[in-house]
Amino acid sequence: MNAFRLLVVAAVAAALIYVVMGLFQPSEVEIFMKLKAGIDYAEQNEGRLHETEIAYRAGFGLKAEALDSPSRSVRLECSSVGTCAKEKISIEPRSMAISEQALLRTYFRCMDKGPLNDCIIYFGDRPAQVELSSVEFTEPKGGSAAITFSVKNVGGIDAVDSVYAIKLYLKKMEGEEEKEVLRSEIRGLLKKLVPRESQFVRHQFEVLQDGRYALKVGVEGEDAGRAQWEKVFEVAEKPLATCAAGEKAATTLNNGVCRTQYACSGCETGAECSLRWQEKGLSETEITEAYKSGVYVEKPAQNGEC
C-alpha cells in the first residue's frame, strides 16, 4: 500500500471516528434537560443534596437564567479547582462553558431563602451536607424533657458555620383550625465538621402545661444544606393530691395587655397547676403561661382598660 492510500485510509478513519463520536455525544438539549430535572428534584426536596452523572459535550454552554423560574433563582458553583480548570471548564455564578468533552458528577441543592428558593448546581467535589441521626427524645416527666441527636457531615467538603435550633410548639385549636404557638426555643452553633464527622447535641427543656405539642429540630449550614426532624406528643399528667388552685390575683395592665395570675400551691409543675384551674372552669386555650406557683391569662385591653 503506497503512501497516498495510507493517507486516504487515515483520513477516512479519522472522519469515521469524528462521526461516531458525534453520534454518541449527548445533544445540548439532552444535557439541559438533565440539568433541569436535577434542579427540579432538588427544589422538591429542599435542603437536601441531589447528585447525578452527566456527560457534557465539547462546546456546551449554559446561562443560569434558562433554569430560573418564578419560584427559584439558580447559581452555578465550582467545588473543585482540579475539575474546573479554565482551559476545560469555565464556571461563573450565572454561566458555564465546556471546552472539552467530560463526564462529571453534578450536584444540585435548593434552600428556601424567602420569596425565591436559592438553587445551586455544583461541579467538582461533593459539597458539604448536614444530616440528622440518632435522635432520642425523652418525653416529659415532672415537667422536664430531653432530646439527644447527632449531626453528621455526609458531604466531601468541610461544613462550617452550621447551626441548630430546637423549637417546642403548643398546638391549639382556634375555631376549626389547629395552630402552633412557640413555647420555647434553644439555638446553638456547631463546630466545623470535616467529611464524615459527627457531633452529638443534648438539651433539656421544660414542658409546663398539659396539651398537644410539636417538637422540631432543624440544622443547617451556610453551604451545607438543611436537615429537619419533628415529633408530636401529648402531655396529660395527673396532679399531686397536694396541688391545689388558689386565688385569682388582681389584673394588671402593661403595654395594652391585661395580665391576670391564678395562683396555685403544692404543685410540682406548671402542667399540674394548669390542670387544677381547668377543673375550676378556666379554659386551656385562655392560659398563656403556666408555672407551679400559678398560671397566667393575657387579654388585650379594651379602650385602654381591663
Which grid coordinates are listed for 94?
Answer: 450565572
Structure confidence at residue 222 (pLDDT): 83
CA 77/CA 63 separation, integer angstroms: 13
> 6 phi and psi, to 5 degrees?
-60, -40
**pLDDT, tens digit only, all 306 positions of the chain:** 555 555 544 444 444 444 334 444 579 999 999 999 999 999 999 999 999 999 999 999 999 999 999 999 999 999 988 888 766 889 999 999 999 899 999 999 999 988 999 999 999 999 999 999 999 999 887 778 999 999 999 999 999 999 999 999 999 878 788 899 999 999 999 999 999 999 999 999 988 777 889 999 999 998 999 999 999 998 876 777 889 999 999 999 988 899 999 999 998 888 888 889 998 999 888 898 888 899 999 999 888 888
Q: What is the pLDDT, as a whole number, of residue 153?
A: 97
Residue 80 pairs in a beta bridge with none
- In this prediction the pTM is 0.71
pLDDT of residue 215: 97
Q: Which domains does the chain have, with CATH numbers?
A: 3-123 (2.60.40), 132-235 (2.60.40.10), 244-300 (no CATH)
DSSP string, 257-303: EEEEEEEEES-SSHHHHHHHHHHTT--GGGEEEEETTEEEEEEE-BT
pLDDT, residue 8, reads 44
pLDDT for the residue numbered 208: 76
Determine the pLDDT at residue 251. 92
* Distant-in-sequence, close-in-space partners of 151: CB < 8 Å, separation ≥ 6: 130, 131, 132, 162, 164, 190, 193, 198, 199, 201, 219, 227
**Surface-to-core class of residue 6, CB atoms within 10 Å of its CB (0-12 exposed, 13-18 middle, 19+ buried):** exposed
Per-state percent for the chain, helix, strand, coil, to nearest 5: 20, 50, 30
Note whether 124 and 78 are within 8 A (CB).
yes
Looking at residue 5, its pLDDT comes to 58
How far apart (Å, rounded) are the C-alpha atoms in residues 184 and 200?
A: 21
